[in-house]
Amino acid sequence: MDSELYDFGMIGLGTMGCNLLLNMADNHFAVVGFDINRAKAEEFEASANPHTIVKGVFELSSMIQQLKKPRKIMMLVPAGKPVDDVINNLLPLVEKEDIIIDGGNSHFTDTLNRIHFLLEKGIHFMGIGISGGEMGARTGPSIMPGGDKVAWQQVKPILEAVSAKVNGEPCVAYMGKGAAGHYVKMVHNGIEYAIMQLISEVYDMLRRGAALNVDDLHEVFKSWNKGEMQSFLLEITADILAHKDVDTGRPMVDVILDKAGSKGTGKWTSQNAMDLALPIPTIDAAVSARDISVYKDQRNAAAELYGTANEKFIKDKQKFIEQVHDALYFATIICYAQGFALLHKASFELDMEVPLPDVIKIWRGGCIIRSALLDDFYSVYKKNPDLPNMLLNKKIARLLKGKEKKLRTVIRQVTPLKIPVAGFASALAYFDAYCSSQLPTNLIQAQRDFFGAHMYQRVDREGTFHNEWQPLPEHKKEEVEHRP
Ligand code: 6PG
C-alpha cells in the first residue's frame, strides 16, 4: 500500500463529513474519509468530482497509514461519548505531533478536558466550530478554530481554502485559547436560537394576528430579505413558506408538528451565561419557547381550559407588517448584542482571549446567522474591540432608536390576541433594564436584608450596611441584652 498520500483525513462520513471533504478535494487537497460502514465509504469515493484525489476507507488503520505527517484528522461525529470513542480508537494509531480535530458541536468543557488529556501524549487536539449546515460544508462554511496555535498553523491553509469568502476574505480565523472554537460556536448557536424564535413569532403575529396566509407570508419574508435585514435565516424562511406538501398539497409548515427539537447548544449558552452572571434573556427565552412547545398535550388541555383569543385581527395589515419589520430589526440587534456581551465576558473569565472583531468578521459569510447587519457590527467592534456591550455604541444607538417605538407598538397590539412573543418581549425588557439608571433592585436588596440580614450598600456612603427592620419581640430583646 502506498503511504503518506493524503493531506487530510475525516472520521464520520455523514453528510457534513462527506461534504467538507469533497470541498477540500475541489480545492486541490488529497483527502481520505473513514466510515465503519463500507457502503458509505464507497459512496463517498464515488461522489467525488473527476480529477480530484478522494479515497473512502472502512478501516481506521488504513486511513492513518496513508496520511501525510503530521497527520491532520478531523472527526464529525455526534457530541459526547462518540468523540471519546474515536479518540480512544485513534490513540494506538497516531504519533506525537499528529493533529486531531473535533469539528462537531461538543461542549467546550469536554473539549478542554480532551486538550489536556491529549497534550500529555504529545498529540495536538483542536475544537473547531463549523457552521453552515450541509450546503455550507460543501460550498463554504464559517469555521471557528481555537486552541493549539501550532496545529492551527498546520491546518490554516486547508481551512482558509474551504471556508466561505466575504469580499475575498476567508470566513475562518483563530478564535482564541483553549476551547474557544467550541465556545464561540456555542454562542453562535445561542444567537441562532434567538433569531429563529423571533422569526417564528413574526410568522405567528402576521398569520394569527393579521390573518395573512402562507403565500402572503412568503412574499413578506422575501421582500424583507432584500432590505437592510437581509440574512440567511430570512431567506430560508421565505423558501420554506413557498413549499407545499406533496401528499396533501397543503403548505409544508401546516403539516409539520409544532414541537421543536434541540441538540443542546442553545441550552449550554444559557447555562454558561448564568454561570458567568451575564444576562442573555432573549436566548434564554428561545430555549424555553422550544421547551414549552414540546408539552403539546398539556398545551391542548390548557387551551381548552383558558380559551383562545377572540377572532379579532389587526385591521391595517400593511401598517402592521411595517411595524413588525422594524420590531424584528430592533430585536435581532438585541440578540447579537447579548451574544457579543457574553463572548466579551467569557473571553476574560474563561481565559480564552477571543478576538471579538474576528468572530464577527467570520460570521458575515457561510454561517447560519450571517446577515447584512454584521457589516455594521464588524465596523463597530473593529474600532472598539473591548466594547462590553454593543448597545453602548452611538452608531448602534442610532439604529435602535429609529425602530424602538415600533417594537413597543407591536407588543401592545399582540398581547390582547394572546399571541406569545417571549422573544420580542424579552428583547424589549432587556433593553429597558439595560437603559435604566434606576432599577427597583434597591427594594430587592431591602427584602434580602429584611429576612436574611444579607446587607446592602447605600447611595450616600461607602460600605455595607444592615438595618434593624422590625422591633425584636420582648423575649428576644432580653436574650440579646443578656448575651455575654
Ligand atoms: C450550524 C448549526 C448546526 C446545527 C445546530 C442545530 O451552525 O450549522 O447551528 O450546528 O444545525 O446544531 O441545533 P439544534 O438541533 O439544537 O437546533
Domains annotated on the chain, with CATH = 8-174 (3.40.50.720), 184-434 (1.10.1040.10), 442-481 (1.20.5.320)
Report the length, in residues, of the chain.
Answer: 484
The confidence score (pLDDT) of residue 256 equals 98
- 79-86's contacts with Cβ under 8 Å and 24+ in sequence apart are 79/104, 79/105, 79/106, 79/107, 79/110, 79/263, 79/264, 80/106, 80/110, 83/110, 83/114, 84/114, 86/11, 86/12
State yes or no: pLDDT of 410 exceeds 90: yes
Spacing, Cα 286 to ligand 1 middle (Å):
14
Residue 301 CA to ligand 1 centre (angstroms): 31
Pocket mutation for ligand 1, best pick of 231, 263, 369 (most atoms within 8 Å of C-beta): 263
Asked if pLDDT for residue 265 goes beyond 50, the answer is: yes
Catalytic (active site) residue 185? yes
C-alpha cell at 293: 412547545
Q: Which of 40, 55, 177, 185 is catalytic?
A: 185
Give the ligand 1 atom nearest the CA of 265: 16
Alpha helix ranges (H) inside 256-350: 265-275, 281-294, 296-306, 317-349
Nearest to 294 by CA among 343, 260, 263: 260
Residues 196-218 have pLDDT tens digits of 999 999 999 999 999 999 999 99
With bands split at pLDDT 50, 70 and 90, how would you rate the model's confidence at 2? Answer: low
Q: How would residue 484 be classed by pLDDT, with cut points 50, 70 and 90?
A: low
The per-residue pLDDT for range 271-302, each reduced to its tens digit, is: 999 999 999 999 999 999 999 999 999 999 99
Residue 313, pLDDT score? 84
Single out the catalytic residue among 55, 72, 177, 192: 192
Label residue 255 by pLDDT band (50, 70, 90): very high
Distance from the alpha carbon of residue 141 to the mean position of ligand 1, in angstroms? 13
Check the CA dihedral 444-446-451-455 and report its sign. positive
Q: Is the pLDDT of residue 36 over 50?
A: yes
Residue owning the nearest CA to atom 10 of ligand 1 = 131
Instruction: Give percent above pLDDT 90 in the chain.
Output: 95
Would you call 398 exposed, middle or buried from its count of C-beta atoms within 10 A (0-12, 13-18, 19+)?
Answer: exposed
Q: Could you tell me if 195 and 411 are in contact, meaning their C-beta atoms sit under 8 angstroms apart?
A: no
Mutate to test the pocket of ligand 1, among 184, 192, 200, 259 (most ligand atoms within 8 A of CB): 192
Picking from 139, 151, 141, 142, the residue whose alpha carbon sits closest to that of residue 114 is 151
Helix (H, G, I), strand (E, B) or coil at 231: strand
Mean pLDDT of 163-191: 98
The pLDDT-based confidence of 322 (bands split at 50, 70, 90) is: very high
Cell digits of residue 5: 498520500
Residue the block writes with cell 464520520: 12
Q: Are strands 72-75 and 8-11 parallel, antiparallel or unpaired?
A: parallel
Question: Which atom of ligand 1 has the smallest separation from the CA of 260?
Answer: 17
**Amino acid letter at 60?**
L
Q: Which pLDDT belongs to residue 1?
A: 47
Q: Which residue has the cell 446577515?
A: 371
Quick: pLDDT tens for 424-471. 999 999 999 999 999 999 999 999 999 999 999 999 999 999 999 998
DSSP codes joined into one string, 415-472: GGGT---HHHHHHHHHHHHHT-SS-THHHHHHHHHHHH---EE-SSSSSEE----SPP
Burial of 227 (0-12, 13-18, 19+ CB in 10 A): exposed
CA 194 – ligand 1 centroid, Å: 12
192 given a catalytic annotation:
yes
Q: Does residue 480 register a pLDDT over 70?
A: no
Atom of ligand 1 nearest to the CA of 141: 8
Residue nearest to atom 7 of ligand 1 (CA): 131
Q: Tens digit of pLDDT for each residue in 45-97?
A: 999 999 999 999 999 999 999 999 999 999 999 999 999 999 999 999 999 99
Residues within 6 Å of ligand 1 by CB:
105, 131-133, 189, 192, 261-263, 265-266, 367-368
| Ranges assigned E (strand) in 14-71 | 31-34, 54-57
Locate 441 and state its grid cell.
Answer: 433592585
pLDDT of 385 over the 80 cut = yes
Contacts of residue 173, Cβ cutoff 8 Å, sequence gap at least 6: 145, 355, 358, 359, 361, 362
Calculate how far, in angstroms, residue 103's C-alpha sits from the geometric centre of ligand 1: 13
Question: Which residue CA neighbors atom 9 of ligand 1 most closely?
Answer: 189
Distance 428 CA to ligand 1 centre (A): 26
Arithmetic mean of pLDDT, 308-328 = 91
Q: Name the pTM for this structure.
A: 0.96
Mutate to test the pocket of ligand 1, among 191, 368, 369, 370 (most ligand atoms within 8 A of CB): 368
The C-alpha cell at 358 is: 474576528
Q: Helices (H), strands (E): how many in the chain?
A: 22, 11
- The single residue listed with the C-alpha cell 440587534 is 333
Q: Which of 369, 55, 63 is nearest to 229 (CA)?
A: 369
Q: How far apart are CA 7 and CA 114, in angstroms?
A: 24
Task: Count other C-beta atoms under 10 Å from residue 279's C-beta.
Answer: 17
Supply the residue whose CA is at minimum distance from atom 1 of ligand 1. Answer: 131
